[in-house]
Structures are given as C-alpha cells and as structure tokens.
C-alpha cells in the first residue's frame, strides 16, 4: 500500500495501473487490489478510460492532492506568515498577520486561531488538516518540537513547547523548525537554490542566522545551534565583551545596530531601511559608510561560513537584502571573492520574505505524506 501510494503521489498528472505496476515492481493483481482500496479511501480519483492500444482500454486515475491539506506557519518578531497547501505542496491560500503579543503560549494560541480562520475562509474542513509545520527564530529542537534558546526577537522564547501547544490547538501533527532552516529548504524547493544540494541561506535583518543544507539534508548540529552565526566573533577586541544572547555579529550589523549608526531617531518602521540605502546611493556620507561597513562585516562572516562548508551557492535574504539587495549583495560577493580562492555564486533570495513559509509547507507536506503511508500500512497489516 505504501509503495503504491508513494508512486501515485510522485507521479505528476494522470496514470494507469500498468504504469504503477512498472514503477512499483508489484504484480498486477496486487496493484489492482491496492488501487481499488485507495480509490475507496478517496486518495485516488478515477478519470475514466484512455485510448486502447490493442486491448482493453486502460483506466486512468490520479492522486487526489486535496484528500487533505497542510498548514505552514512562519513566526516573525512583527509579522507572521500563514499558508495552506495541498498534498503536492501547491499553495491554496496564504495570509500575513501581525504577530500577536503576549507570552509564548498566548501568542501560539492566537496564531492557531488565525490558522483556523484561514482554513474556514478557504472553505476547507479542519479535520482534513493532516500536518502543520511552524518556523520560529532561535535554536529549535525538532525532535521535541521545542524552541530551546536564543530567540532574542521574541521575548521569553526559551524552552517553549511549540509542537505541543499547536498540536492541541489544531488537532494535527506539528513539526517545528528554525525559520532560517526553513528558508534554505524553501529556496532549494522553489527558489534560487534549486539544484544545489550543499548550500547556505544567510539571513541579514533584525536577526542574523544561517540555514545550512549538506548533501540535500538540513544540518542542525549537536545542540541544534548550527547556523547561529549571530554569535560569530568578528575580532579579538570582542572576545571579552558581553554581547548577551545576540552575539557579536548581530550586535555589529543587525538592524538595531545600523539604525543606531546612521540615524538614531529614524522612525520605527521598515521604511527607514530603504531610506538608508537610498541615502547611500544619493551620496550621503554617513549612510554610505554605514552600508559599506555592514557589507564588509557581513561579507567576512559569509566568507567564514564558506571556508567551513564549501557550499555550491550562497543565498542572501532578510530585510537588509529584500528592498534594495543589490548594493549589499555586491559588497558581500566582493568580500567573499577576496577571501575564498574559488568563491561560490552569491545571489539574493528568489522568494524574499516568503522563503521560510515555503519551507514550512514543504516540511508539512512531507510529514502528511509520511503519516498517510504509515497509517495505510498499519491498517493493511491488521
């Protein structure tokens, strides 16, 4: 059953029993029995018969991608992105909401309410929600579904049982992952990193972090701290300085640092970042120095990551890249080329701020498919 369902899911468009027999290597009677069961369950949809090739006209069918659906959640410090997708990962609908205020439990409960509202507005049934994936900043232990530490942009987010809270609220399995890890998955699936099995997503914004993929798999590290480059020490003068939970790199080049360096009284809105880069392009000396210094430091950090991992591609994203990207990307690329003998390509994100959401939908889709196959396998074994 699992083998036939996996083949049906992986087959784009319609297919016949003969094609399933060829792909799975199972006998015709076995495939026929399993296909009939999957049709009864609603996982396969019959489409009628196709043209004859000298014998009986073959029955055509396809995987019912709307048998159920999945939800993706990307929790940010000010905005949270929500999305629903079918079992092939095709987007059904999405929405951006303000990140609720309050303690972690209250915030997650409010996000669950928003997810249910999105499901209702899409005219879907909550009991067909098969899996959820949630991304959050900081160190995440996906085996326990918990944000364990280092979420400086969400106050109180340490040892937060995200999986347990959302599973109870939404009644579906939940996978929890670091937001930048989801970003590299999203770019590898739908964006700039397609075809690159060892690549890095570097997020430069309110927080700084890296999502690392090695041989097609996320790399988490021993304590789930792989990619927490915000902690990277950028010089010996910083070794004995207490940077708290933010770390040296983020203290030097995070959004808060750039705002303080350029214009302390700039409005607390995203527009000031675009204003900074616009002023730099128009010749404002202070703005130009702020951008150049940030690009140099971020370029050094990126070069250090490249020297350790030797990726085939570096993708840059985050609020420092999205609106104006070009100048900072060029500077990071230039610094890397000066440090690394054979530098990898350095590109801006194709998916912009939606990269983590796409990654969460991918993870949720994989989880839903795995649980479906497991459920059918157990049922057949009884």
CATH code (residue 296): 3.30.420.40
User: What range defines the domain where residue 44 resides?
Assistant: 2-64
Whether 262 and 303 have beta carbons less than 8 Å apart is answered as no
Alpha-carbon dihedral sign for residues 283, 285, 287, 289? positive
Q: Is residue 187 part of a domain?
A: no
What's the domain count of the chain?
Answer: 3
pLDDT of residue 322: 72
Same domain, 318 and 173: no
The model scores a pTM over 0.75: yes
Same domain, 313 and 165: no
- Angle between helical axes of 285-309 and 255-262 (0-180°, round to 10): 150
pLDDT of residue 52: 59
Q: Is residue 174 part of a domain?
A: yes
Same domain, 78 and 47: no
Same domain, 60 and 78: no
Q: Is residue 26 part of a domain?
A: yes
Same domain, 112 and 225: no
Residue 33: which residues within 8 A CB-CB, separation 6 or more?
A: none
Q: Is residue 245 part of a domain?
A: yes
Q: pLDDT tens digits, the chain, 382 residues: what are they?
A: 788 888 998 888 899 999 999 999 999 999 999 999 999 999 999 988 766 565 567 889 999 999 999 999 999 888 999 999 999 999 999 999 999 988 999 999 999 999 999 999 999 999 999 999 999 988 899 999 998 876 666 777 888 999 999 999 999 999 999 999 999 999 999 999 999 999 999 999 878 999 999 999 999 999 899 999 988 988 888 888 766 555 689 888 888 888 888 875 655 556 788 888 888 889 989 888 998 999 999 999 999 999 999 999 999 998 888 766 678 899 999 999 999 999 999 999 999 999 999 999 999 999 999 888 877 766 555 5
pLDDT of residue 107: 94
Same domain, 173 and 196: no
Domain closes at, from 32, 49, 64: 64
CATH number at residue 50: 1.10.10.10
Same domain, 337 and 203: yes
Same domain, 170 and 136: yes
Q: Is residue 17 part of a domain?
A: yes
End-to-end CA distance of the chain: 13
Domain closes at, from 64, 81, 102: 64
Same domain, 196 and 327: yes
HSE-CB of 232 using CA atoms within 13 angstroms: 24
Spatial distance between the Cα atoms of 74 and 136, rounded to a whole number of angstroms: 6
Q: Is residue 51 part of a domain?
A: yes
Same domain, 233 and 320: yes
Same domain, 212 and 339: yes
Instruction: Find the angle CA(66)-CA(71)-CA(77) to the nearest 5 degrees.
Output: 160
Domain closes at, from 64, 85, 117: 64
Same domain, 116 and 40: no
Give residue-wise pLDDT tens across range 334-371.
999 999 999 999 999 999 999 999 999 999 999 999 88
Spatial distance between the Cα atoms of 352 and 183, rounded to a whole number of angstroms: 9
Give residue-wise pLDDT tens across range 119-145.
999 999 999 999 999 999 888 999 999
Spatial distance between the Cα atoms of 325 and 273, rounded to a whole number of angstroms: 11
Whether 101 and 90 have beta carbons less than 8 Å apart is answered as no
pLDDT of residue 185: 98
Q: Is residue 185 part of a domain?
A: no
Q: Is residue 222 part of a domain?
A: yes
């Amino acid at each position: 059953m699992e083998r036939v369902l996996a083949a049906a899911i992986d087959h784009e468009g319609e297919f016949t029993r003969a094609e399933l027999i060829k792909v799975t290597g199972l006998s015709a009677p076995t495939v026929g029995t399993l296909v009939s069961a999957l049709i009864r369950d609603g996982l396969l949809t019959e489409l009628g018969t196709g043209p004859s090739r000298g014998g009986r006209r073959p029955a055509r069918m396809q995987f019912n991608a709307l048998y159920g659906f999945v939800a993706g959640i990307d929790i940010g410090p000010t905005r949270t992105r929500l999305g629903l997708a079918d079992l092939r990962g095709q987007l059904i609908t999405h929405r951006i909401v303000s990140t609720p205020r309050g303690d972690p439990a209250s915030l997650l409960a409010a996000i669950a309410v928003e997810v249910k509202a999105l499901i209702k507005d899409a005219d879907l049934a909550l009991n067909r929600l098969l899996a959820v994936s949630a991304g959050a900043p900081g160190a995440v232990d996906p085996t326990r579904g918990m944000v364990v530490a280092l979420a400086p942009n969400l106050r109180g987010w340490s040892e937060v049982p995200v999986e347990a809270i959302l599973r109870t609220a939404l009644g579906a399995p939940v996978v929890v992952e670091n937001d930048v890890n989801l970003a590299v998955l999203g770019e590898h699936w739908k964006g700039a990193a397609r075809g690159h099995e060892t690549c890095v997503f570097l997020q430069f914004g309110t927080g700084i972090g890296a999502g690392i993929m090695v041989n097609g798999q996320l790399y988490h590290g021993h304590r789930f701290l792989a990619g927490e480059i915000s902690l990277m020490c950028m010089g010996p003068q910083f070794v004995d300085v207490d940077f708290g939970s933010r770390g040296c790199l983020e203290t030097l080049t995070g959004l808060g640092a750039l705002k303080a360096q350029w214009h302390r009284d700039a409005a607390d809105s995203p527009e000031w970042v675009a204003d900074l880069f616009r002023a730099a392009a128009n010749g404002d000396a202070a703005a130009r120095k702020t951008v150049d210094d940030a690009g140099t430091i971020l370029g050094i950090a990126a070069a250090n990551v490249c020297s350790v991992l030797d990726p085939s591609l570096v993708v840059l994203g985050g609020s420092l890249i999205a609106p104006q990207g070009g100048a900072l990307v060029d500077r990071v690329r230039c610094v890397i080329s000066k440090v690394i003998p054979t530098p990898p390509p350095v590109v801006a994100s194709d998916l912009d701020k939606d990269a983590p959401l796409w990654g969460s939908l991918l993870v949720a889709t994989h989880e839903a498919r795995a649980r479906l196959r497991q459920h059918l396998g157990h049922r057949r074994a009884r």
